[in-house]
Amino acid sequence: MYYYYSRNQQQAVDELIKQMKGAIDGEYSAVKCYEKLARMAPNDQERERILEIRNDEIKHFTELVKLYSGIFGRDPKPELIEECPDEYELGLEAAIIDEQNTVDKYLTIADHAANTAVKQFFTRAAKDEQNHAVWFLYLWIKNK
């Protein structure tokens, strides 16, 4: 079966592929970084909070891969796109910035998505990312 897309439709598909791949890579990088941050945490309470956030990122990653594969018919190849700092406070600061930037990206994707599942995922994930940013900010201030 052949599908014919107008130029604008194909551009929209290409943009969604790029955005979703970027989100997958971002979640993958966050999972790796938060594992490292948890190991550096000065106490069990902070370690558990970071691991809880990491579990949310794993859920996001898993859901994104399913969405991507279902829409585009192929599995993405996640790539590490950010290095995690070797110092705890710098890692927390980087996490705050990354989570806040991710909120903006996810809300933009949700606003422009025609696919309901994509719109719902990115809206929900943006809320989670905002919550993560607040927790990382709390931990960062606590460790200053």
pLDDT in tens, 21-77: 999 999 999 999 999 999 999 999 999 999 999 999 999 999 999 999 999 999 999
**C-alpha dist (Å) from residue 120 to 11, 72, 84, 109:** 22, 18, 29, 10
Residue 43 φ then ψ, to 5°: -155, 170
- Structure confidence at residue 26 (pLDDT): 98
Report how far residue 26's alpha carbon sits from residue 123's, in angstroms, rounded to the nearest whole number. 16
How far apart (Å, rounded) are the C-alpha atoms in residues 68 and 8?
20
Domain ranges of the chain: 16-74+86-142
**Six token digits for residue 77:** 């190849």
Distance from C-alpha of 116 to C-alpha of 122, rounded to nearest angstrom: 10
Domain 16-74+86-142 CATH superfamily: Ferritin, core subunit, four-helix bundle (1.20.1260.10)
Q: How confident is the model at residue 7 (pLDDT cuts 50, 70, 90)?
A: low
Average pLDDT over residues 117-139: 98
